[in-house]
C-alpha cells in the first residue's frame, strides 16, 4: 500500500533538508552581510538606515591596502611552498611507492597529525620556535649564532611555517588524487619513447593533474584569505590581514563596517576562485 | 617509476621523511612536554618527568585551564548531534542525485559555495541574520546550523564517491525481483553503503568538534573546545595546555580507530555473507 511518488518529487523531498539549510544558513546570511554593509551603526547596534560611510571608510583607508598587501604576500609564500612540497610528496607516493600497502600507510601517516586539534597544533610550535626553543638552542649549540633569533616566533615567519604545516596536505591530497587517475600505460609510453623522468613530469604528468592543482589552490586561497585565528595567534597580534581586521571589528560589535570589509574580501576570494573554476569542470571532477 | 631504483627515489624518500618530521616533530614536543616536571616550563629542557600537569587539569583548582571540562562536554554534545544530522541529511541528498532533477544544479552549487566561502563569513552572516530577526544565538539552533553548513557539503561529496563505487547490478537484480524502492533502499543500497555512511558520521563529528570559524559567533553562552583553546593560547604560561593537547589527541585517536574497526568489520561481514552465499 505504498503511495506512488514521482521520481522528480522523490528527489526534491530527498534534497529538501539540504537545500533548506544551504539557503537559510549560507545564501541568505551572505546576502544579509551585503545589506548590513549599507547600514548605520551605534554602539553594539545596527541602525537600519541607508548609510555609505562604511564603504567610504573601507575604500579610502590606506589600511585596507596594507592588509591586502600583507595577505597576498602570505598567500604567495604559502601557495608556492605547499605547491612544490605537495607535488613532490604526491609524486613520490603515487609513482615511486610501488606497494599499495605502503602507499596507504604513508598516506595515513600524513593524515594522522590532523587528529590533533588546530589550536594545539599551533601552540606546539612555541617550544620549537620560541627564544628558548629547540631551534634556537640547536643553532646556538652549533655555534652558528651568538644570541637567540627573536623573529622565529610571533612574526610573519611563524605564520607562514604554521600555514605550511597545516595546509600542505590540502594541496597534496587533490594533486595525488589527480595523479592516481593517470593511466600507467601513459607513463610507460613516455618511458618507452626515451623520456627522462624530468621530461615525463613536465610534459606528461603536470598537464594531466590540472584539476587537482586547481582544487588544491582553491583550498589554499580560501584558507589563507579567510583565516584570522591562526594569524592572530602565531603573529602575537602583530600582523594585520583583512580577516583579522574583520574579526577585530566583530569583537568590538561594529557590525556594519565589518560587513563592508567582509563584502570586499568575499568579492576578492570569489573572483579568484571563479577564475580558477573556469579551467576545470568541478562537477565532472567530483562525480568521478 | 620504471623497474630500478633511481637516484630520484632516494632524494624523494629523504624529502618525504623530512616532511613527516616537520608534521610530527612539533606534536611530539607537545606530548613530551605535557609530562614536564613540576618546575618545568613551556619549552625544553625537561625538568624531570611527572603527571602533575594532568593532575592540575583534573583537580578543581586547575590554574590557567579556564572552562576546559565544560567546553569539552559541549563540543562532544554538539559534535554528536551534528554528526547524526549530517549522516541523515547527507544520505538523503546523495540519493536525490541519483536522478537528474530540476533544481539539482542549485543544490549542488549552493554546497560548493558553502565550501569555498571562508568560514568566518558564514558565521558572521548567520549571526547578523539572527541579529536582524531580534534573536540571540543558541548552541542548539544557530550553533548546530552553522556547523552543518560546513559538514554537509563534505557529506554530499562522500555520498557521491560511495554511490559512484557501488555495484549497480545488485540493485537491478532487486528491481527485477519486484522490490519496491523502499525495499531496495533498505535491503540492498543501505547495507552496501553502510561503511561509507559510518565514515560520513565520523567526518561530521570531527569537522564540527574542531570547527570554530563558523560556530564561534553562533554558539551563544559557553565556549566549545576550539574556542576555549584559542582563548587560552595567549594566556598559557604552564605546560597544562600541552596536557590538554595530549588528552584530546588520545581521545581523537581512540575515536577514529574505533570507527575504522567498526567500518572494516561491516565490510568484512558483508563479504563473508556474500561469499558464503555464492559458494
- Interchain pair A226, B107: CB under 8 A: no
Which residue, chain included where needed, has cell 601552540? A123
**B164-182 b/e (C-beta count within 10 Å ≥ 16 → b):** eebeeebbeebeeeebebe
Of B8, B96, B253, the CB nearest to A197: B8
Average pLDDT over residues A119-137: 84
User: Tell me, what's the pLDDT at A253?
Assistant: 86
Give the chain A residue whose CA is nearest to the CA of B230: A119
- Least confident interval from A162-176, A184-198, A218-232: A184-198
pLDDT at B83: 94
Mean pLDDT of A109-121: 83
Does the pLDDT at position A21 exceed 90? yes
In percent, the amount of chain B with pLDDT more than 90 equals 21
Is a pLDDT exceeding 70 seen at residue A95?
A: yes
Q: Residue A259: name the closest of A36, A72, A83, A97 by CA.
A: A36
Q: Do B43 and A130 touch (CB under 8 A)?
A: yes
pLDDT value of residue B65: 67
Residue A129 has pLDDT above 80, yes or no: yes
CB-CB contact of B217 with B2 (8 Å): no
State pLDDT tens for residues B48-64.
788 878 877 777 555 55
Q: At residue A200, does pLDDT exceed 60?
A: yes
pLDDT of the residue at B216: 82
Q: Is the pLDDT of residue B147 over 60?
A: yes
Confirm if B242 and B159 have CB atoms less than 8 A apart: no
The alpha-carbon gap from A62 to the nearest alpha carbon of chain B, in Å, equals: 23
Average pLDDT value for residue range A143-159 = 85
- Tens of pLDDT, residues A242-267: 999 999 888 888 889 899 999 999 99
Asked if A111 has any chain B CB less than 8 Å from its own CB, the reply is: no
In the structure, what pLDDT confidence band is assigned to residue B140 with cuts at 50, 70 and 90? Answer: confident
Write the DSSP symbol of residue A72.
H
Model confidence band, residue A157 (pLDDT cutoffs 50, 70, 90)? very high
Q: Which distant-in-sequence residues (6+ apart) come within 8 Å of B21 by Cβ?
A: none
Q: A213 to chain B, minimum CA–CA distance in Å?
A: 15
The pLDDT confidence band at residue B126, using thresholds 50, 70 and 90, is very high
Facing residues of A40 across strands? A47
The residue among B201, B206, B193 whose CA lies nearest residue B248 is B206
- Tell me the percentage of chain A whose pLDDT exceeds 70: 97
User: Measured between alpha carbons, how far is B135 from B130 in angstroms, rounded to an integer?
Assistant: 5
pLDDT level of residue B15 (50, 70, 90 thresholds): very high
Partners of residue A125 in chain B, C-beta under 8 Å? 26
Compute the mean pLDDT over every residue in chain B, rounded to the nearest whole number.
Answer: 84
* pLDDT 10s digits, B219-256: 877 788 888 887 777 666 677 888 888 888 888 888 88
CA geometry: angle A47, A48, A50, nearest 5 deg: 110
| CA angle centred on B206, ends B202 and B207, rounded to 5° | 115
Confidence at residue A288, expressed as pLDDT on a 0 to 100 scale:
53
Q: Look at residue A76 and tell me whether its pLDDT is greater than 80.
A: yes
Query: In angstroms, what separates the C-alpha of B273 from chain A's closest C-alpha?
Result: 25
Q: What is the mean pLDDT of residues B177-195?
A: 85
* Subunit contact A124:B96, Cβ cutoff 8 A: no
Pick from B252, B260, B203: which is nearest to B72 by CA?
B252
Cell numbers 557539503 label which residue?
A: B153
pLDDT-based confidence at residue A1 (cuts at 50, 70, 90): very low
Q: Is A113 on the interface with B (CB under 8 A)?
A: yes
| Residue in A with minimal Cα distance to B87 | A18
Q: Please give the average per-residue pLDDT across A69-87, as a whole number.
A: 95
Query: 213-232 in A: which are within 8 Å (CB) of B?
Result: 218, 222-223, 225-229
Q: What is the mean pLDDT of the segment spanning B176-183?
A: 85
pLDDT of residue A164: 95
pLDDT digits (tens, 9 = 90+) for B70-117: 888 888 889 999 999 999 999 999 999 888 889 889 999 999 999 889
In our burial notation (b when 16+ CB lie closer than 10 A, e otherwise), range A188-211 reads: eebbeeebebeebbeebbeebbeb
Between the CA of residue B87 and those of A179, A213, B81, B84, B108, what are the distances in Å? 30, 29, 10, 5, 17
Confidence (pLDDT) at B122? 93
Read off the pLDDT band of A2 (50, 70, 90): low
Closest residue of A to B101, CA-based?
A8
Which residues in chain B touch residue A229, judged by CB atoms under 8 angstroms apart?
A: 212-213, 230
Task: Inspect the interface and report whether the beta carbons of B121 and A287 lie closer than 8 Å.
Answer: no
pLDDT at position B3, please? Answer: 53
**Smallest Cβ distance to B93: which of A15, A106, A110?**
A15
Note whether A255 contacts B128, CB cutoff 8 Å. Answer: yes
SS3 (DSSP) at A46: strand
Residue of B nearest to A244 (CA): B120
A256 at the B interface (CB within 8 A)? no
What are residue B36's DSSP bridge partners?
B49
Percent of chain A with pLDDT over 90: 38
Does any CB of chain B come closer than 8 Å to the CB of residue A64?
A: no
- pTM for the model stands at 0.89
Residue B64 φ/ψ region, left for φ over 0, alpha for ψ in the -120 to 50 degree band, beta for the rest: left
Q: Nearest CB to B6: which of A17, A110, A197? A: A197
Grid coordinates representing B57 are 587539569
Query: Model confidence at B179, in pLDDT bands (50, 70, 90)?
Result: confident
Angle, vertex CA A230, rays to CA A44 and CA B112, nearest 5: 80
- Tell whether A273 is within 8 A of chain B (Cβ): yes
- State mean pLDDT over B146-166: 89
Amino acid at each position: 500500500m505504498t503511495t506512488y511518488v514521482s521520481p522528480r518529487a522523490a528527489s526534491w523531498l530527498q534534497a529538501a533538508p539540504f537545500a533548506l539549510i544551504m539557503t537559510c544558513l549560507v545564501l541568505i546570511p551572505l546576502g544579509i552581510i551585503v545589506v548590513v554593509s549599507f547600514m548605520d551603526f551605534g554602539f553594539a547596534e545596527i541602525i537600519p538606515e541607508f548609510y555609505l560611510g562604511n564603504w567610504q571608510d573601507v575604500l579610502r583607508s590606506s589600511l585596507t591596502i596594507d592588509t591586502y598587501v600583507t595577505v597576498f604576500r602570505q598567500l604567495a609564500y604559502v601557495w608556492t611552498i605547499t605547491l612544490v612540497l605537495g607535488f613532490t610528496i604526491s609524486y613520490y607516493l603515487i609513482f615511486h611507492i610501488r606497494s599499495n600497502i605502503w602507499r596507504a600507510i604513508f598516506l595515513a601517516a600524513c593524515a594522522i597529525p590532523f587528529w590533533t586539534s588546530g589550536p594545539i597544533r599551533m601552540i606546539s610550535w612555541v617550544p620549537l620556535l620560541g627564544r628558548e626553543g629547540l631551534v634556537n638552542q640547536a643553532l646556538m649549540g652549533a655555534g652558528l649564532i651568538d644570541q637567540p633569533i627573536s623573529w622565529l616566533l610571533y612574526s610573519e615567519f611563524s605564520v607562514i611555517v604554521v600555514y605550511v604545516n597545516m595546509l600542505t596536505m590540502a594541496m597534496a591530497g587533490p594533486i595525488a588524487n589527480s595523479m592516481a587517475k593517470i593511466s600507467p600505460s601513459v607513463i610507460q609510453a613516455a618511458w618507452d619513447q626515451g623520456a627522462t623522468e624530468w621530461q615525463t613530469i613536465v610534459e606528461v604528468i603536470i598537464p594531466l593533474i590540472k584539476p587537482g592543482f586547481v582544487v588544491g589552490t582553491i583550498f589554499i586561497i580560501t584558507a589563507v584569505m579567510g583565516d584570522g585565528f591562526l594569524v592572530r595567534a602565531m603573529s602575537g597580534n602583530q600582523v594585520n590581514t583583512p580577516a583579522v581586521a574583520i574579526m577585530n571589528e566583530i569583537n568590538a560589535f561594529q557590525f556594519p563596517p565589518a560587513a563592508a570589509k567582509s563584502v570586499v574580501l568575499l568579492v576578492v576570494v570569489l573572483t579568484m576562485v571563479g577564475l580558477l573554476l573556469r579551467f576545470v569542470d568541478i562537477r565532472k571532477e567530483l562525480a568521478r | 617509476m620504471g623497474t630500478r631504483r633511481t637516484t630520484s627515489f632516494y632524494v624523494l624518500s629523504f624529502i618525504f621523511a623530512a616532511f613527516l618530521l616537520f608534521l610530527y616533530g612539533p606534536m611530539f614536543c607537545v606530548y613530551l612536554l605535557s609530562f614536564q616536571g613540576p618546575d618545568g616550563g613551556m619549552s625544553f629542557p625537561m625538568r624531570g618527568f611527572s603527571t602533575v600537569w594532568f593532575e592540575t587539569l583534573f583537580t578543581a583548582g586547575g590554574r590557567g585551564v579556564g572552562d576546559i571540562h565544560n567546553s569539552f562536554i559541549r563540543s562532544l554534545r554538539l559534535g554528536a548531534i551534528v554528526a547524526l544530522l549530517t549522516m541523515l541529511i547527507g544520505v538523503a541528498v546523495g540519493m536525490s542525485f541519483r536522478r537528474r532533477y530540476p533544481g539539482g544544479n542549485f543544490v549542488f552549487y549552493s554546497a560548493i559555495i558553502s565550501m569555498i566561502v571562508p568560514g568566518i563569513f558564514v558565521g558572521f552572516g548567520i549571526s547578523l541574520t539572527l541579529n536582524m530577526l531580534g534573536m540571540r544565538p543558541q548552541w542548539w539552533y544557530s550553533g548546530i546550523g552553522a556547523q552543518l553548513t560546513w559538514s554537509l557539503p563534505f557529506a554530499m561529496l562522500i555520498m557521491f564517491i560511495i554511490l559512484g563505487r557501488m555495484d549497480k547490478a545488485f540493485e537491478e537484480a532487486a528491481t527485477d525481483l519486484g522490490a519496491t524502492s523502499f525495499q531496495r533502499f533498505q535491503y540492498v543500497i543501505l547495507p552496501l553503503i553502510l561503511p561509507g555512511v559510518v565514515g560520513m558520521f565520523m567526518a561530521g563529528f570531527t569537522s564540527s568538534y574542531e570547527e570554530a570559524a563558523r560556530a564561534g559567533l553562533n554558539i551563544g553562552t559557553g565556549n566549545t573546545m576550539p574556542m576555549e583553546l584559542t582563548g587560552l593560547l595567549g594566556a598559557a604560561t604552564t605546560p597544562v595546555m600541552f596536557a590538554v593537547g595530549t588528552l584530546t589527541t588520545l581521545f581523537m585517536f581512540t575515536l577514529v580507530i574505533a570507527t575504522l574497526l567498526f567500518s572494516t568489520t561491516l565490510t568484512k561481514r558483508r563479504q563473508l555473507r556474500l561469499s558464503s552465499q555464492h559458494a
